[in-house]
Structure 1
Amino acid sequence: MSHPPAAGTRVPWHEVHPEVRAAVEEFLGGRVVEASTQPGGFSPAAAVRLRTEGGRRAFVKAVGPEPNPDTPGIYRSELKIAAALPASVPAPRLLTGFELAGWVVLVFEDIEGGRHPELPWRRDELDRVLEAVESMSAALTPSPIDAPRIEEVFGPKFDGWRKLTKEDPDGLDPWALRHLAELAELESGWVAAAAGDSLVHADLRADNILLTDDRVYIVDWPWACLGPPWFDRMGMLISVGMQGGPPPHELFTDPDQAVTAVLAALTGFFVRQSRQPDPPGIPTVREFQRAHGVIALDWLRRRTGWS
């Protein structure tokens, strides 16, 4: 089965603001002679592996005010988190970050040989990643850094079922339509259910993971927040199921009702967002959300046991 890729419209290095390119070259100590745009992720921004004439390498993310006005704020959040992450976190080190000419820029160490997991998911790679996520979650409980609470980050987004009760339900899944009021009520308890002091990545999926021969790296941390230690595993397994791996109910069997309430909120987010117009500069995200919603809804149906 094909699955929609996590891919947006990347900005090539030569289209990055000239002042930004000059500042990056100054920091790296040499002229850039090779710039390789990296696939994966939705931001309408530059995501480039660079090599200078002196052989120095770095991975650079840079975004300007166009075409999506929300993206610079997301990159500012990532800059703050990336600068604070301790060395024990399996993430590439931030070398520098700055704002210039309306652009937000992050310069990371380049992970040599780093590649995304193969899709559809291979079981050996999935097991490696899940083990790494579990170790990371244990190491980040309690959180070693200051971060917003999960409701501060997702509070404005995790009310999809409640919004859908007031909107035209045309095209909504029949089971969801039949249980819409109950789903809205279940979702309304998600904040209490998601209480926790773990630092969670909160956007874990294949395009935010890099594998080398001996390590698993987690990249792209703008949504990091304080939540329950199981949140990353729960969210990632929806995307694993969507991208050819085992269905989430086979890999996450904890019957805790708190998980069900948070899953209801996440599912409502995917289902309602997939019904919205495309955001500026990100034409592929709705299809991606729709595919996640299908997997999440099936899992939610199983966890609630509602007919």
Structure 2
Amino acid sequence: MAVTAVDFDDLPAPVRTAIETETGPILKTETVSAGLNSALSARIHTTAGAVFLKGLRTEHRWVWTQQREADINPYVTPLAPRLLFRVVADGWDILGFEAIDGHHADYSPGSADLPKVTEGMRRLGEIPCPDIELRQAEQRLAGYVDNLADAELFKGDALLHTDWNNHNVLITDDHTHLVDWGWATRGAAWLDPAHWIIWLIAAGHTPAQAEELAARLPAWGTAPAESVDAFAKATSKLWAEIAGNSPDNWPAPLLSAATLWLGHRLS
């Protein structure tokens, strides 16, 4: 089920009223184009300040990610923006977060953002995985391994973000913020750096350069080579599936990156 984007003004009147009950008078609204997992992605300005809204229709197959974000938020702030409220009304599930005035991380070679991203990932690695319902890495990747037993290589007790799209990493002057926690997962600690490698290669790094950046994170040193090889194979199949099911070509650079990394691992 595709996500069809809507503007704030397209929401049913009862939903807009319920949001304004939480925020106070809304003075201005802005649609935010970045993001693939939300039908509503908007910044609203109120007398008390700005609020970021993200939402899905309650019948959407991904609406469970709204609950996941609400559940995990108390454990990941201030690394993540604080959840201010949740509104479920008239067929919509809306989360309201404190708005962050930052820029999307630049993953390109030589970017000044790269050390800040690694620091944010290191801080995430220090957060204990909360005892809440989360996806399991070995289950998420089980359909993409050569042998089902290989999925056990991804098992662990670390809290993982897993979606390292640079639009999910906001950089301010003194902080790195991670947003979009709907796909938070419990698994091996090295998996977040491994997921990041794909995005780094897509941004222009060679596979060797991307692995060197990942190696700056303590978690990467815990990864057995055979486990990384199994992940590289699995994630190349995953991105092939995403690219095959996508109505546009946004996954193409990620599929190319995953294929390039797999070739590097196999060589």
TM superposition score category, shorter chain reference: 0.7 to 0.9
SS in 1 for 2:256: helix
Pick aligned residue for 1:108 from 92, 97, 100:
97
Amino acid at match of 2:35: G
Post-superposition offset of 1:9: 5.5
RMSD: 2.4
Partner of 2:218: none
Partner of 2:75: 85
SS in 1 for 2:155: coil
Amino acid at match of 1:272: E
Structure 1's 269 and 26: CA in aligned 2 closer, same or farther, altered over 3 A?
A: same
1:55-94 aligned at under 5 Å gives the runs: 55-65=48-58, 69-82=60-73, 84-87=74-77, 89-94=78-83
SS in 2 for 1:275: helix
Pick aligned residue for 1:134 from 119, 122, 143:
122
Indicate whether 1:99 and 2:59 are aligned. Answer: no
Contact residue 132 and residue 216 of structure 1 kept, 8 A: yes
1:1-307 aligned at under 5 Å gives the runs: 10-30=5-25, 32-52=26-46, 54-65=47-58, 69-82=60-73, 84-87=74-77, 89-111=78-100, 113-118=101-106, 120=108, 122-137=110-125, 139-140=126-127, 142-151=128-137, 154-155=140-141, 158-160=142-144, 184-185=146-147, 188-247=148-207, 248-252=210-214, 256-276=225-245, 278=246, 283-284=247-248, 287-305=249-267
SS in 1 for 2:181: coil
Structure 1's 189 and 131: CA in aligned 2 closer, same or farther, altered over 3 A?
A: farther
Contact residue 135 and residue 183 of structure 2 kept, 8 A: no
SS in 2 for 1:274: helix
SS in 1 for 2:52: strand
SS in 2 for 1:204: coil
Structure 1's 97 and 229: CA in aligned 2 closer, same or farther, altered over 3 A?
A: same
Identity level (%) = 27
- Work out the CA distance in 1 between the residues paired with 2:206 and 2:116: 15
TM-score w.r.t. the length of structure 2 is 0.85
Which structure: larger Rg? Answer: 1
- Work out the CA distance in 1 between the residues paired with 2:214 and 2:85: 38
Q: Which has the higher contact order (CA 8 A, sep 6+)?
A: 1
Gaps of 5+ in 1: 1-7, 162-183
Q: Deviations over 1:253-273 (max 9, x none)?
A: 656211221222122111133
Post-superposition offset of 1:21: 1.0
Gaps of 5+ in 2: 216-220
- Work out the CA distance in 2 between the residues paired with 1:265 and 1:192: 13
Count residues in correspondence.
256
Structure 1's 17 and 80: CA in aligned 2 closer, same or farther, altered over 3 A?
A: farther
**Greater fraction strand:** 2
Contact residue 138 and residue 153 of structure 2 kept, 8 A: no
TM-score w.r.t. the length of structure 1 is 0.75
Structure 1 segments of 4 or more deviating over 6 A? none
SS in 1 for 2:81: coil
Amino acid at match of 2:162: A
- Work out the CA distance in 1 between the residues paired with 2:11 and 2:44: 13
